[in-house]
Chain A
């Protein structure tokens, strides 16, 4: 589970390549609104997705600002860097608890999972490719 401000998301652990601490990102002029820049990682320039730019009322990352964690995700043949305020330990979930999205409204999600009393969207980074 990852959090960005008040946003709480689940993410399949299998797509996580690495979880880093605070890492500087660089804005790219003319970049997509939700991918405002890149991060240098393993001798690559990796596109950085700011989840806060996908959800109304969340505060987007400003130039020079970082979050305390940076997830590097495998998305198809590409990598995607996602800053987060926190990354929790892995949660085992029963696949029966995954349902089509009906309660939550996160745009990069088609399904959601009930965890205790809470229903959380299942973040699918690959959906960003469909909008590319």
Chain B
């Protein structure tokens, strides 16, 4: 396992297979495949409004989001903001456990795909970038294609 803190920029080239960008929204740890992350910037570097990832995932909105994460989905690129701490973590490929479809009312459209129990600090929930993109559009919280 490896971990690195980010403050302003990040390149997906630094991330290999099985590496996730972990968003530590204690007690929940969300994560995104690092290969889908195009860049991480500060909100001041981003001129327009972006979706709040924290709100999209059921958390609280913060006026002081620290990061803007630009993601590559199958439908286009999209930017999300979060005030939580980000770090990279590499997981064994066989630790990605599919989440049972029973868990959700509408599993087809839900952005949670996998859960990882490997982390001693609690489970890490893996998000599907394409579904996240669709969810942002459906809920119209300001997803901005780049």
Contacts and interface: CB of A to CB of B under 8 A. Distances in A.
Interface of A: 26, 28-32, 35, 37-38, 40, 43-47, 63, 78-80, 128-129, 132
Contact of B99 (A28, A79, A132): A28
Contacts of B123: 26, 38
Contacts of B99: 28, 38, 45
Interface residues of B, number: 22
Interface of B: 27-28, 57-58, 94, 97-105, 110, 112, 114-115, 117, 122-123, 125
Nearest to A31: B103
29 contacts: A26-B115, A26-B117, A26-B123, A28-B99, A28-B103, A28-B125, A29-B28, A29-B58, A29-B112, A30-B57, A30-B112, A31-B104, A32-B102, A32-B104, A38-B99, A38-B100, A38-B115, A43-B97, A44-B97, A45-B98, A45-B114, A46-B100, A47-B102, A47-B103, A78-B100, A78-B102, A79-B100, A80-B102, A129-B102
